[in-house]
């Protein structure tokens, strides 16, 4: 269509047009306004300018290109505006950074290039105080984790997603980080502090519920074992005591019988600890000054402690009193001291016993053991701290199980009994321990406020001389205990009628009630237990005297029958002295006796 020279000229013109357009738009306009672009012949000599037709084509191409460029620029502006609005209004925090490297080429810091308003809202840091500065300038003390993680993103282009706590800001963040350009990285993040706190609280509550259920199950088991074991001890202790009554002081069997009695009483003590763990121990509550009680025990506390351990007392003055059973508080303290001494072992160490007051809110009490039904307020605490080996989380989760010990098996209930005693006193318990950092047990007791009196347990007066006259109906499903109980009552001077269960007892009382002065009845029996039989006997005679005997605690049984006319409770295993004291005042007076 065009001669060769024209084709060459056209190519040159297009080349010049594109170069000028790309490098300088103004020059392109000048080209359009002043035509006459040179072209060359085969000898590369300038021979003339571009024709008008060619220029029209060039101008058309330019207009098409400019229109397309304007559309692209408009699209880019719309996109930039859209993303700027998103950047400004999103609820997610956003920040653009560049990584800072040390001389070895390793990430050592990073610089803020831009942050959105949500960044300020989620961190409390203003953009004007950040942009252009490095993180270590803006937030000294930033953990190396952040720099190392972001450095890996910026240098490798690897995207990461993680949840981590910023100790500097005191918040937890869920972060997505990616690299939009070499040595740069962008982060999009959310504050998940409340969510993590709620999750941790739920996990803690679930663990506490699980632990409480486990302890309750163990408590029921311990209480049942204690009850059955007390029945067995009743036979051992009772027969040994009767045998002692019938042999001469110089009999060679006396020492053996005395040892049997002592062993049985120790076993009964273990049963009481099991009942304490189950929350069913008997307590005599009174007003107690905790500081004075610890001071009184100061000398005794030295006994179980290793010679290499130092005992310190840190006792606050002018503390409010508590409502407690002093003997049980002493047991708590001795158990904790023994535990602390074992933790120190043969090494040198320090055991500190502290008594002070603490005002506890609901949040603090929720994080304690046995926090059921505890209200905020003033508490008096007993704290035992040791510098021993400490415990890991797994050990801490098991320390209140009966017979659990890190030293050896079979030491006893120990801390398990402490739990039961604290529970019965409506207190709380907190344990702090880490391996190699020692252990602290903190026992909280509700403080008695001024004008508030302790509810004292009923105190029995000195037993009146026992007349040993009259007839007692003895009811028990254990044949050995029927035989033993009959001998003990006869030894005290009573006539005895027996029944093997509650149903027989009711029938016997219906037939011979007029000659029966008192009913001594076991609580747990087949066919008709002591509870039901007691009700039937009361219907036959509202004034009937009934004493219930049980392997469970006096407090537990007395509480169940409070206000129902029960004459007394006798906890198994009981001795002749216990039996005498319980019956004193319940048997007929001489003028009322049947002779």
Taking only the tens of pLDDT, the chain with its 595 residues reads 556 555 555 555 555 555 545 544 444 444 444 444 454 445 544 444 555 565 566 667 777 877 788 888 777 776 666 666 566 778 888 999 999 999 999 999 999 998 988 898 888 888 888 899 999 999 998 999 999 999 999 999 999 999 999 998 999 999 999 999 999 999 999 999 999 888 888 887 787 777 667 666 766 776 677 777 777 888 888 888 888 888 888 888 888 888 888 888 877 777 776 666 666 666 667 899 999 999 888 888 887 787 888 899 999 988 999 998 888 888 888 888 888 888 888 888 999 999 999 898 888 887 887 666 678 889 999 999 999 888 888 888 777 776 666 654 334 456 777 887 888 788 888 999 888 889 999 999 999 876 555 554 444 434 444 556 789 999 998 888 898 889 889 888 899 999 999 999 999 999 998 999 999 999 888 888 888 999 999 999 999 999 998 877 666 677 788 888 888 888 888 888 888 888 887 765 444 444 3
For 271, the enclosing helix (H) or strand (E) is: helix 253-277
C-beta neighbour count of 488 within 10 angstroms: 23
CA distances in angstroms from 429 to 153, 198, 245, 426, 475, listed in the order given: 47, 23, 46, 10, 42
* Pair 134, 110: CB distance under 8 Å: yes
| Class of the domain covering 286-446 | alpha beta
CA distance 416 to 219: 9
* Pair 109, 136: CB distance under 8 Å: yes
Fold of 90-191: Beta-Lactamase (3.30.450)
Looking at residue 252, what is its pLDDT? 85
CA distance 233 to 263: 10
Write the Ramachandran bin of 468: left for phi over 0, alpha for psi from -120 to 50, otherwise beta: left
Strand-strand pairing, 568-571 and 349-360: unpaired
Q: Which CATH architecture has domain 471-592?
A: 3-Layer(aba) Sandwich (3.40)
Looking at residue 31, what is its pLDDT? 47
Q: Euclidean distance between the first and final Cα of the chain, in Å?
A: 154
CA distance 81 to 78: 5
| Three-class DSSP category at 101 | strand
Partner residues linked to 440 by β-bridges: 385, 432
Q: What is the DSSP letter of 529?
A: -
So where are the chain's domains?
Answer: 4-88, 90-191, 204-277, 286-446, 471-592
CA dihedral of residues 487, 488, 492, 498 (deg, nearest 10)? -60
* Pair 350, 337: CB distance under 8 Å: no
| Three-class DSSP category at 36 | coil
* Pair 130, 124: CB distance under 8 Å: no
Q: Which of 232, 222, 233, 329 shows the shortest CA–CA distance to 273?
A: 222
């Amino acid at each position: 269509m065009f001669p060769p020279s024209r084709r060459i000229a056209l190519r040159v013109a297009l080349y010049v047009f594109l170069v000028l357009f790309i490098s300088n738009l103004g020059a392109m306009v000048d080209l359009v306004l002043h035509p006459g672009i040179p072209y060359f012949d085969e000898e590369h000599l300038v021979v003339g300018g571009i024709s008008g037709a060619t220029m029209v084509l060039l101008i058309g191409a330019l207009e098409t290109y400019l229109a397309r460029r304007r559309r692209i620029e408009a699209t880019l502006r719309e996109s930039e505006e859209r993303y700027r609005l998103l950047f400004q209004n999103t609820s997610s925090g956003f920040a653009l950074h560049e990584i800072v490297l040390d001389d070895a080429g390793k990430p050592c810091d990073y610089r803020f290039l831009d942050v959105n308003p949500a960044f300020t809202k989620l961190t409390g840091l203003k953009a004007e105080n950040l942009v252009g500065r490095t993180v270590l300038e803006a937030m000294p003390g930033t953990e190396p984790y952040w720099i190392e993680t972001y450095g890996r993103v910026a240098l490798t282009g690897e995207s990461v997603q993680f949840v981590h706590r910023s100790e500097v800001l005191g918040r937890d963040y869920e972060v997505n980080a990616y690299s939009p350009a070499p040595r740069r990285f962008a982060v999009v993040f959310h504050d998940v502090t409340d969510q993590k706190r709620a999750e941790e609280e739920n996990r803690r509550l679930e663990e506490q519920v699980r632990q409480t259920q486990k302890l309750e199950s163990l408590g029921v088991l311990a209480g049942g074992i204690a009850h059955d074991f007390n029945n067995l001890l009743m036979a051992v202790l009772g027969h040994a005591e009767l045998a002692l009554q019938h042999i001469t002081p110089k009999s060679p069997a006396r020492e053996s019988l005395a040892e049997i009695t002592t062993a049985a009483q120790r076993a009964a003590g273990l049963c009481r600890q099991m009942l304490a763990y189950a929350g069913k121990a008997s307590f005599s509550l009174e007003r107690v000054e905790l500081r004075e009680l610890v001071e009184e025990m100061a000398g005794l506390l030295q006994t179980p402690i290793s010679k290499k351990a130092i005992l310190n007392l840190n006792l606050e003055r002018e503390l409010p009193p508590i409502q407690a059973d002093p003997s049980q508080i002493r047991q708590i303290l001795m158990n904790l001291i023994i535990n602390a001494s074992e933790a120190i072992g043969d090494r040198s160490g320090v055991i500190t016993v502290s008594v002070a007051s603490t005002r506890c809110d609901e949040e603090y009490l929720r994080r304690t053991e046995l926090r059921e039904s505890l209200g905020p307020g003033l508490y008096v605490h007993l704290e035992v701290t040791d510098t021993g080996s400490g415990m890991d989380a797994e050990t801490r989760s098991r320390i209140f199980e009966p017979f659990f010990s890190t030293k050896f098996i079979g030491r006893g209930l120990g801390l398990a009994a402490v739990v039961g005693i604290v529970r019965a006193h409506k207190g709380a318990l907190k344990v702090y321990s880490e391996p190699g950092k020692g252990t602290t047990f903190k026992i909280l007791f509700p403080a008695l406020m001024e004008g508030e009196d302790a509810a004292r347990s009923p105190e029995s007066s000195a037993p009146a001389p026992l007349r040993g006259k009259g007839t007692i109906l003895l009811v028990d499903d254990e044949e050995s205990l029927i035989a033993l109980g009959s001998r003990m009552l006869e030894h005290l001077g009573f006539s005895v009628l027996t029944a093997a269960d509650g149903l027989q007892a009711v029938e016997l009382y219906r037939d011979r009630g007029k000659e029966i002065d008192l009913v001594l009845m076991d609580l747990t029996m087949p066919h008709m237990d002591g509870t039901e039989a007691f009700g039937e006997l009361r219907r036959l005679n509202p004034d009937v005297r009934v004493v219930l005997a049980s392997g469970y605690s006096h407090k537990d049984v007395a509480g169940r029958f409070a206000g129902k006319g029960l004459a007394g409770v006798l906890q198994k295993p009981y001795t002749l002295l216990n039996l005498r004291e319980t019956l004193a005042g319940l048997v007929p007076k001489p003028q009322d006796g049947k002779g």
